[in-house]
Amino acid sequence: MKFKILLFLLFNFQCLNSQVTNWGFYDLDSIISVEMPDAVYEFDTIIESKKIYQMYSKINETNFIAQKFFLDNSLDLKLPTSKKELNSFYMDLAEILNLLISSNEIIESKLIHENIEGYKLSFSDKKNINYQDIILYFVNNNLYIFIYRDANGLNNFNKSKFFNSIEFNQKTDINQYIEKKVPLKFKLFIALIAILILSYIVRFTSKKNTKY
Give 15-64 pLDDT, tens digit per residue: 444 344 689 999 999 999 999 997 899 988 776 667 789 999 988 888 99
Count of the separate structural domains present in the chain: 2
Average pLDDT of the residues in 143-156: 93
Same domain, 132 and 199: no
pLDDT of 101 > 90? The answer is no
Looking up residue 66, the CATH number of its domain turns out to be 3.40.1000
Percent with pLDDT over 90 in the chain? 46
CB atoms within 10 A of CB 135: 20
Q: 20 and 49 in contact (C-beta within 8 Å)?
A: no
Residue 70 has a pLDDT of: 86
| pLDDT (average), residues 187-207 | 52
Q: How confident is the model at residue 204, as a pLDDT?
A: 46
| Whether residue 34 is found in the same domain as residue 119 | yes
Per the structure, the complete domain to which residue 43 belongs is given by: 2-168
Residue 212 has pLDDT above 80, yes or no: no
The per-residue pLDDT for 182 is 47
